Amino acid sequence: MTANPPVVSPVRLRAEDRPGQPPVSPGLIEFYEGFEKALLVPLWTEVGALMPLSPQSKAQPHRWDWQTLLELAARAGELVPVGRGGERRAIALANPSLGGKPYASPTLWAAIQYLMPGEDAPEHRHTQNAFRFVVEGEGVWTVVERDPVPMRRGDFLPQAGWNWHAHHNGARQPMAWIDGLDIPFQYEVEAQFFTPGRDQLTEAEHATPDRSRSQRLWGHPGVAPVSQLGETAGSPLLCYRWADTDAALADQLALEKEGHPGVVEPGHALVRYTNPTNGEDVLPTIRAQFHRVAAGTETAPRRETGSSVYQVFDGSGRITVGEFSWSVTRGDLFVVPSWLPFSARSEASGSDSDSGALDLFQFSDAPIFTKLSLFRADSAERP
Amino acid sequence: MTANPPVVSPVRLRAEDRPGQPPVSPGLIEFYEGFEKALLVPLWTEVGALMPLSPQSKAQPHRWDWQTLLELAARAGELVPVGRGGERRAIALANPSLGGKPYASPTLWAAIQYLMPGEDAPEHRHTQNAFRFVVEGEGVWTVVERDPVPMRRGDFLPQAGWNWHAHHNGARQPMAWIDGLDIPFQYEVEAQFFTPGRDQLTEAEHATPDRSRSQRLWGHPGVAPVSQLGETAGSPLLCYRWADTDAALADQLALEKEGHPGVVEPGHALVRYTNPTNGEDVLPTIRAQFHRVAAGTETAPRRETGSSVYQVFDGSGRITVGEFSWSVTRGDLFVVPSWLPFSARSEASGSDSDSGALDLFQFSDAPIFTKLSLFRADSAERP
Amino acid sequence: MTANPPVVSPVRLRAEDRPGQPPVSPGLIEFYEGFEKALLVPLWTEVGALMPLSPQSKAQPHRWDWQTLLELAARAGELVPVGRGGERRAIALANPSLGGKPYASPTLWAAIQYLMPGEDAPEHRHTQNAFRFVVEGEGVWTVVERDPVPMRRGDFLPQAGWNWHAHHNGARQPMAWIDGLDIPFQYEVEAQFFTPGRDQLTEAEHATPDRSRSQRLWGHPGVAPVSQLGETAGSPLLCYRWADTDAALADQLALEKEGHPGVVEPGHALVRYTNPTNGEDVLPTIRAQFHRVAAGTETAPRRETGSSVYQVFDGSGRITVGEFSWSVTRGDLFVVPSWLPFSARSEASGSDSDSGALDLFQFSDAPIFTKLSLFRADSAERP
Amino acid sequence: MTANPPVVSPVRLRAEDRPGQPPVSPGLIEFYEGFEKALLVPLWTEVGALMPLSPQSKAQPHRWDWQTLLELAARAGELVPVGRGGERRAIALANPSLGGKPYASPTLWAAIQYLMPGEDAPEHRHTQNAFRFVVEGEGVWTVVERDPVPMRRGDFLPQAGWNWHAHHNGARQPMAWIDGLDIPFQYEVEAQFFTPGRDQLTEAEHATPDRSRSQRLWGHPGVAPVSQLGETAGSPLLCYRWADTDAALADQLALEKEGHPGVVEPGHALVRYTNPTNGEDVLPTIRAQFHRVAAGTETAPRRETGSSVYQVFDGSGRITVGEFSWSVTRGDLFVVPSWLPFSARSEASGSDSDSGALDLFQFSDAPIFTKLSLFRADSAERP
């Protein structure tokens, strides 16, 4: 046991001659040295940066090109084995203004994961909440609590913290998808636990069913299994299938055409993935939504506290985030930092098969804000 | 304004010589007359009946034969017009021990409703919570808040209090279904409001869409419309379709065969209809569930506080409720009073098309008990 | 086991020639006989009474005179022993329009209880939620879960269902107080369980502490015992003392004089007893409140769904409930049925010590309505 | 508008030869350079640090000496004016392992604030949740939403985000107290808004009442003002007075001596400040508690996710946090990082007036963890 050991104080204070600051004098400088020695920092030198009039994100808007990501992931498939220790062949977006850390935003992790034919990613569990979203391909099963869950284009697979999980690729080609997690958030607030699991899946877990057991229990709209009732922090439904999401979006736009409520604004269908046990967000710290911006539509700019990562699922368009603006196409990812206005415009690609709509998958840290009474948006009418 | 007007006291007390009672004497008799005059009743003469060791239902178990109901309803189709004042051609179950009142149980109303081809039942709204369940036929649309909702065999249509609603039969044949409401409960506690609406539906409301707008907004599993988010006391999903319920039940029995959790007990699949905005019961005062008892299975006896009404949806079987037991077949209705043990046994009918399973639709007053911390069941492991 | 036994049907229907009814004919009469035989009742003959435009209470307003009650209770002290079987020397208000049943309203029980010096009322527990309120005297302890809780003028003692409880009078004089319970409600919905306990209290339970253990754990404003945390359906605080209630009411009227918010309307202070574990009503089915109507003030008429019983705690005044109006003074009890307008006017009694305010204790069944989404009041701005 | 501007990538990756890593090769090095250029970071190089087996706090345990703090604050009283821009004469604890930032822990701010006689700290509001705790002195009023709230030794004053507030010292001597806020948390997740208010308080706000209006409305145990009902995210009670906290702690220890439940462990009384509108934590992101460790007692080591700051309110003792251990006395502050075991031992000071108990005020970020389903403690039996 030790008392406070000798510490080289990291505190550095500068007496500065500016409004709101005490007059600079030798006494003040000496006084500040006392603060440094005593491990103290005054509010009056820090208040502007620490307590801004509105959120000033440490992150910046940025777009990542899907093709580049995919190529690097494929190269990783050759160079990097998947196994215990490294745990996953996952490559994370690093926001350019967050010092090289693997953080898409101050709270969110977004990565491309890649699995070669026949490969398994080893089982583990962690308190970090996670999901998978599939922009292309199929053939991988995520095995959650020994329940193999198929992954196909458009599927969204939430996985609340502390569930055992592994992946296996049962197909003859590689498969890539994106993982979203609250790793940065849990790292910052220091909540995280991790346990490695079994190194091998059983034969039964290598099964490749068309529907998971979770799907069979919870995938029927409004019809819940009595044996499994009870509120859970994360969704017991482990796969939200593309067919359902697509139909929900199409229905909203069709209702709009018929003159009925449904869309959040003209030409903008929006659905939220929810936990069937409580109707709330699908994960304790992560909100997931899907946007369809009809051909020729631009959404109204909207600001929210908290950050989002988007992936273009289909179509092409132009994204504007604060002072940034990019053209995007299938697979591209981009990040929207806290309180920067975001809007999206669909752009027909010209191909015959193209509906002209822009389909965007979004995930954000909104539940952290809503549950702590910190959520704000500047278009208050939309939940 | 009047002060207490002269009242002929309805209080009648008898001094009786039994354990726990004061000794009978002229003084006691005179004393009890004072109670009668002052509109008072002692606890000590009433406690046994008023505060029994466990619920002693005023209702009794009873079964109603569907064919009898259907014939009387068809006859009503000839004799009784549908219109303002009578409001609905609905015929309610009257529990034989509830004094001839139209109460299936002390809290629940259950009726067969019947609509002739081309008929409309006029629009109204009321605080009573209601649902429709369809054991056979199709062709009627319930128009809830101007949204026409189709009704077909196996569909369950909840409709929370204070929604405007009407019905129209767009088919060439009559249609019957059952209505369940909390009329007795609201009558006893005196909560109820009622407002007549328009006498005619518009042409748009006479539309006969395959899916309601509610279905298009809320009928996608776990995928919620952001423009409509927010907890509501009753479900915004106005039709739970048979295909979904049937699949959920079949999945539970299949999972059981594969050795996985799902059924509530061997051979007994059970689902609950839930409100997608909060995962709770589909109506504020009414729970609705669907049972499938596999061929050759008998469920374990179970008691609950509160009462239920069941309708046989398919198959044949034997029902036991306390000291009562009946054979039942498609369409038959029966009531299970508070705290009487209930069990069901499936009986194959011998027809080729028969799976041998017994399908039972159930509704109960359980939310009244759960929300007021009064719910009990003697098989505690099932929610 | 028996099938439906032969039943003498209690159903009696009359074909009547009035608006909204089918034309009377021999066929209709025969048809109605079929209903009687089949234990069925049509909606169209009942809808007006069963589903009125607004609640039409089966109860009527009524006032009971405290002196009469007290005299009868004192006489009961001579004639009626307290013990197992009769359980309590309690005398209940019987609403004159509820058929002589011991119901103050369709949901509420209100009784005067009376204990002679040295007497014990035996231990029992029941699912019925209960409270005691003391309009005069002291010297009795209610022993809840073996914790002796003192009872003194102005104290309110809630006691959620299924707690063991007994009473003992440790004073040299008799003591009376009122009991409020949800006996009628639980009788109607059939939720109730009852278990007799020990016939004798221990010496330790005959202790007469100034504060209960519950008080010492939970009686400090906003300061909760960590070892006891967790939401409970009823309040863990077993006594709300008069000094606190009185101060809260006085503070509201003083704030009003200083121009600050606090009262619910001019001259009308109102507090609600709440459960410190969740801030909600103090009992799952019973709301308890205390009103202070300043000298010379009349409250605005207010209607609510559900019924209330009031007791005058201090002062004199005039009460108006629908078409009824009474002068009331200390101890008088009266009932306000569902949806009848209630108002109270204070009347100075002329004595020197009189502040002129009218102090009213109220309890109601409001939580039944709020939790089931059935609560309405016509002055919506007040919670 | 700009597309992704040229970025100097901050990503730096090193190919290393260690278990769980891919074999180092020229190809791997080149491959990692591709990551750097594309703003990507692999999981496999980071997983151990980012996703540890259990929380490894960035903060370290540290103790700050109250006398040093007080002297520096007094010196600030001479050198540093209070006014708009600097906002407050507050001096924050800077955890020695957090890089010189004014963070006591990764989520919590703790500061000493100091006000000279007659001074006002200007009005502002911010989304950061805050409280004041007074270890000595009196004479300052915090004016929250224009309600002057007195501050005295032992008082705890929570103040939820977005309330206007100012302070004024109405005494003839300076006064110091501690402020706790969630500034680091809101800075990291980027939720924060700030608005300056009026520069001057009115005469009415300079009033020095003995009780705040908040106290008069909400300071009566379990007795809530009906006009103010409704759940609020932060407590409407703006001052939890020492007399109540002290009595609650004394009661727990007295109950323990009598053989009754109350303490969390032998000799260890513990209370939590709660929001009377919902029974939950007093602020959306901050838990506040008060410990009394009886003379001669050592508490069992306990670990929790999340961090705490403690201040010694009275007595002397020895604190152990992980590998650190300090003697502490009145006013000393110390920080307990996430998942380090904490225990406290009381040490009699030898003075006659000393009860020998160690009184500790504690605040933590626990609500962030409980609301996001991330809370864990290794002594699970205590809430």
At B114-131, the pLDDT tens digits run: 999 999 999 999 999 999
Determine, for residues B273 and A245 on separate chains, whether the beta-carbon distance falls below 8 Å: no
CB contacts of B128 in chain C (<8 Å) are 51
Put simply, the answer to whether A4 touches D306 (Cβ < 8 Å) is no
Indicate the residue of D221, D223, D225 with minimum beta-carbon distance to C220: D221
pLDDT at B355: 81
Q: How many CB atoms lie within 10 A of CB B242?
A: 16
pLDDT value at A115 more than 60: yes
Contact across the interface for C263 and D218, Cβ inside 8 Å:
no
Average pLDDT of the residues in C332-358 = 87
Radius of gyration, CA atoms only, chain C: 24
Q: What is the pLDDT of residue A119?
A: 95
Taking contacts as CB-CB distances below 8 angstroms, the residues of chain A near B278 are 278-279
- The confidence band for A85, taking pLDDT boundaries of 50, 70 and 90, is confident
Residues of D in contact with A58 (CB under 8 A): 190
Question: D92, D56 in Cβ contact below 8 A?
Answer: no
> Percentage of chain A with pLDDT > 90?
90
- Pairwise CB contact (< 8 Å): D255 & C213: yes
Name the strands in the sheet holding B342-347, side by side, starting at the edge strand that comes first in the sequence: B324-328, B316-321, B342-347
Tokens read off for C127: 């699912």
Other CB atoms within a 10 A radius of the CB of residue C375 amount to: 16
| pLDDT at position C381 over 60 | no
> pLDDT by residue (tens digit) across D75-100?
999 999 999 888 999 999 999 999 99
Q: Number of A to D CB contacts under 8 A, please give it.
A: 334
Tens-place pLDDT, residues B65-115? 999 999 999 999 999 999 988 899 999 999 999 999 999 999 999 999 999
In 10 A of CB B230, how many CB atoms?
9
Distance CA C193, CA C195 (A): 7
Average pLDDT over residues B196-201: 91
Nearest CA to CA, how far is D11 from chain A (Å)?
4
Does the beta-carbon distance from D224 to C278 stay under 8 Å? no
Question: Is the Cβ pair A225, B216 closer than 8 Å?
Answer: no
Report the pLDDT averaged over residues A8-13: 94
Residues of B in contact with A219 (CB under 8 A): 221-222
| pLDDT (0 to 100) of residue A47 | 92
D340 or D2, which is more confident? Answer: D340
Check residues A285 and C19 and name the one with the higher pLDDT: A285
For B279-332, the three-class secondary structure string (H helix, E strand, C coil) is CCECCCCCEEEEEEECCCCECCCECECCCEEEEEEECEEEEEECCEEEEECCCC
> What is the average per-residue pLDDT within A52-81?
96
CA quadruple A87, A89, A93, A94: dihedral sign:
positive
Residue-wise pLDDT for A250-298, tens only, equals 999 999 999 999 999 999 999 999 999 999 999 999 999 999 999 999 9
pLDDT at C382 > cutoff 60: no
Q: Is residue A3's pLDDT more than 80?
A: no
Model confidence at C262, in pLDDT bands (50, 70, 90)?
A: very high
d(CA D76, CA D113): 10
The pLDDT value recorded for residue C37 is: 95
- Contact: C191, B338; criterion CB under 8 Å: yes
Query: Which site among B1, B9, B32, B40 would you substitute to test the C interface, given the most C Cβ atoms closer than 10 Å to its Cβ?
Result: B40
Mean pLDDT of chain A: 94
CA angle D270, D275, D280 (to 5 degrees): 70
Residue C90 and residue B43: Cβ atoms within 8 Å? yes
| pLDDT tens per residue across span C102-114 | 999 999 999 999 9
Q: Given a cut of 70, is residue A351 above it in pLDDT? A: no
Subunit partners of chain C (3 or more CB pairs within 8 A):
B, D
Residue B199 has pLDDT above 90, yes or no: no
Closest alpha carbon within chain D to C290:
D223
Q: Tell me, what's the pLDDT at B20?
A: 84
Q: Give the pLDDT confidence score for residue B200 in this predicted structure.
A: 87
Sheet architecture: strand order including C333-336: C62-64, C333-336, C308-314, C358-364, C287-293, C268-273, D223-225
Q: Which residues pair with A133 in a beta bridge?
A: A156, A178
- Output the pLDDT for position B350: 60
Cβ contacts of C227 on chain D, cutoff 8 Å: 252, 261-264, 270, 382
**Measured between alpha carbons, how far is A140 from A119 in angstroms, rounded to an integer?**
9
Contacts of D94 (CB under 8 A, 6+ apart): A10, A11, A39, A40, A41, D100, D101, D102, D103, D104
- Comparing CA positions, the residue from C368, C361, C358, C211 lying closest to residue C281 is C368
Give the distance from residue A249's alpha carbon to the nearest chain D alpha carbon, in angstroms.
29
Provide the pLDDT confidence category of residue D2 given band limits of 50, 70 and 90.
Answer: low
Predicted pLDDT at B7: 79
For B351-355, D69-73, D130-134, D353-357, which range has the lowest pLDDT when averaged over its residues?
A: B351-355
Q: Is the ipTM of this complex over 0.85?
A: yes
- A51:D128 CB<8 A: yes
pLDDT band at D355 (very low <50, low <70, confident <90, very high): confident
Which residues does residue B274 pair with via DSSP β-bridges, in sequence order? Answer: B281
- pLDDT category, A2, cuts 50, 70, 90? low
Cβ-Cβ contacts under 8 Å, C287 against chain D: none
Average confidence (pLDDT) over C41-69: 96
Which pLDDT score, from 0 to 100, does residue C85 have? 87
Looking at every residue in chain D, the average pLDDT score rounds to 94
Give chain B positions within 8 Å (CB) of C39: 62, 64, 93-96
CB contact under 8 A, B282 and A235: no
Residue type, B181: L
| Contact by Cβ (8 Å): C338, B338 | no
- Are B368 and C372 inside 8 Å of each other by CB? yes
Is chain B adjacent to chain D, meaning 3+ CB pairs within 8 angstroms? no
Range in B151-155, B335-339, D19-23, D331-335 with the lowest mean pLDDT = D19-23
Average pLDDT over residues B156-184: 97
Nearest-CA neighbor of B275 among A161, C259, A221? A221
Look at residue A170 in the predicted model and tell me its pLDDT.
92
Least-confidence region, from A137-141, C81-85, C248-252, D172-176: C81-85
pLDDT tens figures, C198-245: 988 999 889 899 999 999 999 999 999 999 999 999 999 999 999 999
Q: Is the pLDDT confidence value at B348 over 80?
A: no
Q: Provide mean pLDDT across the span A336-351.
A: 89
Q: Which residues of A11-39 are buried (b: 16+ CB within 10 A; e: fewer)?
A: bebebeeeeebbeeeeebeebbeebbebb
Tokens 């302070």 locate to: D167
Strands B333-336 and B62-64: antiparallel
The whole-number average pLDDT for the span A66-84 is: 95
The string of DSSP letters for C200-224 reads S--TGGG---SS-HHHHHH-STTEE
Give percent of chain A with pLDDT exceeding 70. 96
**Residues of chain D with C-beta less than 8 angstroms from the C-beta of A56:** 190
Statement: residue C5 has pLDDT above 90:
no
Q: Taking 60 as the threshold, does the pLDDT of residue C93 lie above it? A: yes
Q: Of A230, C106, D31, C95, which Cα lies nearest the Cα of B38?
A: C95
Question: Does position A15 have pLDDT exceeding 90, yes or no?
Answer: yes
If you search the block for the tokens 């513990």, which residue do you land on?
D270
- In the prediction, which pLDDT does B59 show? 98
Residue D350 clears pLDDT 80, i.e. is over it: no
Q: Is the sign of the CA dihedral C28, C31, C33, C36 positive or negative?
A: negative
Q: What is the pLDDT of residues A180-224, one digit of tens each?
A: 999 999 999 999 999 999 988 999 889 899 999 999 999 999 999
CA-nearest residue to A103 within chain D is: D41
Residue A187's pLDDT is 97
Predicted local confidence at residue A349, as pLDDT:
64
Are B296 and B354 within 8 A, CB to CB? no
Over the range B310-346, which residues count as b (16 or more CB within 10 Å of their CB) and which as e?
bbbbbbbbbbbbbebbbebbbbbbbbbbbbbbbebbb
CA distance between the termini of chain B: 52
pLDDT at D167: 96
To the nearest whole percent, how much of chain B has pLDDT over 90? 90
Convert the pLDDT of each residue in C156-183 to its tens digit. 999 999 999 999 999 999 999 999 999 9
